[in-house]
Amino acid sequence: MAIRVVFLGTAGSIPTTRRALPAIAVRREDELIIFDCGEGAQRQMIRARVGFHKKTKIFITHMHGDHVLGLPGVMQTMSLLNREKELEVFGPIGVKAFVEAIERTVQFALTFPIKVNEIREGIVCEEKEYRVQAVCADHVISALAYALIEKPRPGRFNEEKAVNLGVPKGPLWSKLQHGGNVKLSNGKIIRPDDVLGKQRSGRKLVYTGDTRPSKALLELSKNADLLIHEATLGDELKERAFEDGHSTPSQAAKTAKSARAKRLILTHISARYGTTDSLLKQAKKTFRNVEIAEDFMRIDLPLDNDI
């Protein structure tokens, strides 16, 4: 089961003819996880065909308009399509008042409940198979960076061992695969470790939002399968990037290298760059496995095939 990442918007601050404002959709099984929700996000979702009726969580990094002003449109479109499932929204202090203001002042009837979670650092969402962790980003206002971290998976089931131990094929095999002990008719207890291989790690995806380089972000990004890092301005504007609370390609690449991330995607690209060749070249000097995000770019993160 792959995790599919779809870049809905990859611009920084203002949209361009090629780039919409920040929004990233992550499809995991039948769930949609969205990081940031810039203006026009619902149109990008329609074009990307990610759907409006799935179990959905939206994680906002900070309350600058280019990261949050798409929420009203998404809410209205979901209502017009008669969504009924609850929508969960996570974000820093201020996001609850923002959503409440939308509900109070914009004249459309919601067809679904909304649960807004104002969060700080730590584990901000805990599900059976994954968790979402947040750390404080280093921006000009209060901001968060997020990591989607899958929990370890059981090792591969060894059918031959199960047969040799006398476990009949069927429900008992399933019970062992899901971590339960099995008692055979002769009284013998078979444990998962008897028939399962080495536990396999889950996948890790990190999204920085807007940030300068920081120790907290480096720690969050350690061993990430995919690091999605902002690179608003080129290295030649390093001082301007620092003043505005942003990063350059080289800084993002340094974080990826130090964190031993497997893959780096640069996003939140300033409108001043008609072509991103120079940005990519700057990053590749430090970290080779890097790309510049484009709107509607898709990345699949397959499960590890280790035994």
Q: pLDDT tens digits for 5-30?
A: 999 999 999 999 999 999 999 999 89
What domains does the chain contain, in order, with CATH numbers? 3-153+200-301 (3.60.15.10), 159-195 (no CATH)
How far from chain centre, in Å, is Cα 159?
Answer: 35
Check residue 107 and give its pLDDT. Answer: 86
Tokens 């074009």 found at: 47
Residues 43-52 have pLDDT tens digits of: 999 999 999 9
Residues 129-152 have pLDDT tens digits of: 999 999 999 999 999 999 999 998
Q: Would you tell me how many other CB atoms lie within 10 Å of the CB of residue 207?
A: 28
Show which residues are catalytic. Answer: 66
How far from chain centre, in Å, is Cα 261?
Answer: 15
How far from chain centre, in Å, is Cα 255?
Answer: 18
* Three-class DSSP category at 287: coil
Q: Which helix (H) or strand (E) holds 204?
A: strand 204-207
Tell me the pLDDT of the chain averaged across its residues.
93
Indicate the pairing of strand 23-28 with strand 3-9.
antiparallel
pTM exceeds cut of 0.85: yes
> Which residues are 31's β-sheet partners?
28, 55
Q: Do 282 and 234 touch, CB atoms closer than 8 A? A: yes
Which of 8, 245, 37, 26 lies closest to 147 in space, CA to CA? 26
